[in-house]
Chain A
Amino acid sequence: MSLRLQAQQLACERDDRWLFQGLDVDIHSGEVVRIEGPNGSGKTTLLKIFSGQLSDYHGELYWNGQPMREVREHFLTNLLYLGHSPGVKTGLTALENLSWYQALDGQRGSESERLDALANVGLAGFEDVPAGQLSAGQHRRIALARLTLTPRALWVLDEPFTAIDRDGVAALEAQLVAHANSGGCVIVTTHHELASSPALRRIVLG
């Protein structure tokens, strides 16, 4: 198995301003792709296009060689996107949050699976605390628990290091590289400098 995400002559215009133009990208399994550029250069917009949220672009997008518009469902089934906001409901506990996400993906999952995933991100002991009582960094960790809980080939992560402490950052970075090495693929924007590794690639905007 291998995955491939290609963009040909990708361009995005928002309110008559070109965020980027003529972008050719070819992303394969085994890569950690860091999207770089100054503020306002369209990093988040590009991630939204790469995660199938924005269809208002010029150019062509291919998933495993087929036009994205035709295989969108297959693409979404293999995508895990974590956006700016962690997507954690403050009224639910960490466990409840995770089980909704599993159900959304069509999996029932098991309690022990979820407990393991939470322990992995350092939230053992916080499983049944309403997320409203947890910190921003802990919210981010709940979201990151989905990386292990719902195995997906393509990860698209928008600033995943936000609000996470130093140990967490190192572990997450290792997790990204490990995911790429095991045949997955990561597309990420971050202000954090990623340690160089053979898997790391950069796309510079602006």
Chain B
Amino acid sequence: MWAFIHKLGSPKWFYGISARLEPWFWVAAALLIVTGTVWGLAFAPADYQQGNSFRIIYVHVPAAFLAQSIFVSMAVAGLVFMVWKIKVADMAATVMAPLGASMTFVSLFSGAVWGVPTWGTWWMWDARLTSMLILLFLYLGVIALRGAFTSRDSASRAASVLAVVGVINIPIIKYSVDWWYTLHQPASFTITSRPAMPTEMWMPLLIMVLGFYSFFIALTLMRTRNEILRRESNKRWVRDRVQEA
């Protein structure tokens, strides 16, 4: 176990292993997303209440899932970096932040677009959308803090602390926003929580979620590899590799 962690901590080793894993995730992401999209848009039945506009769920929900998962992974990577001083973990956390922020934005934007046919307005202070908006601010805070330091070591540590503090707060924020929403909008129509979706509706959704996750993993591996090359550019093995290529 320890040997494995230490191996994983070596940028060179990680660069090699991720190069082998990355293509598989790209393939999985492409297959799943294409299948999910075709199935979801063309074959899944229309919603009895919302008609075809519900199909935006196939983007909205996976993006929202990912937005939250990325924040958790970013905090875990930050913690690993602080406790074991594993630099690769920090590199991964660095590249995850903008990715997570854009996923949050995608889920907010798709939620707004969905709002037009459903609520007749681009924005409602719906519990889920409000939590997402706050999550976006948390992401922007982490990105801004990392950018504010001149020393990268300090930036990494500060961003890690903030990510961990944020991840502890996310459930509290989510819970309190839900509570606030039920208090002010009793039993109104929420876009995604619905009684028992039929299989032919949720199967494509599940496939899309898996596809988005594969896409996230592939993209994170790729960007972490770039980050390794950038940060380790004065190391010998990187120069050798660049010479080869």
Contacts and interface: CB of A to CB of B under 8 A. Distances in A.
A89 interface: no
A56 to B, nearest CB: 7
B231 A16 contact: yes
Contacts of B85: 56
A193 interface: no
A15 B151 contact: yes
Interface string B223-245: 00000000110100000000000
Nearest to A13: B153
Nearest to A15: B152
B81 to A, nearest CB: 12
A191 interface: no
Contacts, number: 11
A197 B73 CA distance: 58
Interface in B113-154: 151-153
A14 interface: yes
Interface string B82-126: 000100000000000000000000000000000000000000000
Contacts of B232: 16
Indicate the size class of the contact surface on chain A.
Answer: under 10
A16 B153 CA distance: 9
Nearest to A14: B153
Nearest to B155: A15
Nearest to A58: B85
Interface in A122-154: none
Contacts of B151: 14-15
Interface in A35-77: 56
Contacts of B153: 14-15, 56
Contacts of A56: 85, 153
Interface in A2-32: 14-16
Contacts of B152: 15-16
A14 B231 CA distance: 12
Interface string B14-48: 00000000000000000000000000000000000
A56 B83 CA distance: 12
Contacts of A16: 152, 231-232, 234
B228 to A, nearest CB: 12
A56 B231 CA distance: 18
A80 B197 CA distance: 68
A131 B232 CA distance: 48
A15 B233 CA distance: 12
B86 to A, nearest CB: 13
A16 B231 CA distance: 8
Contacts of A15: 151-153
Given A15-B153, A16-B231, A16-B234, 8 more contacts: A14-B151, A14-B153, A15-B151, A15-B152, A16-B152, A16-B232, A56-B85, A56-B153
Interface of A: 14-16, 56
Interface of B: 85, 151-153, 231-232, 234
Closest 8 CB pairs of A and B: A15-B152, A15-B151, A15-B153, A14-B153, A16-B234, A16-B231, A14-B151, A56-B153
11 contacts: A14-B151, A14-B153, A15-B151, A15-B152, A15-B153, A16-B152, A16-B231, A16-B232, A16-B234, A56-B85, A56-B153
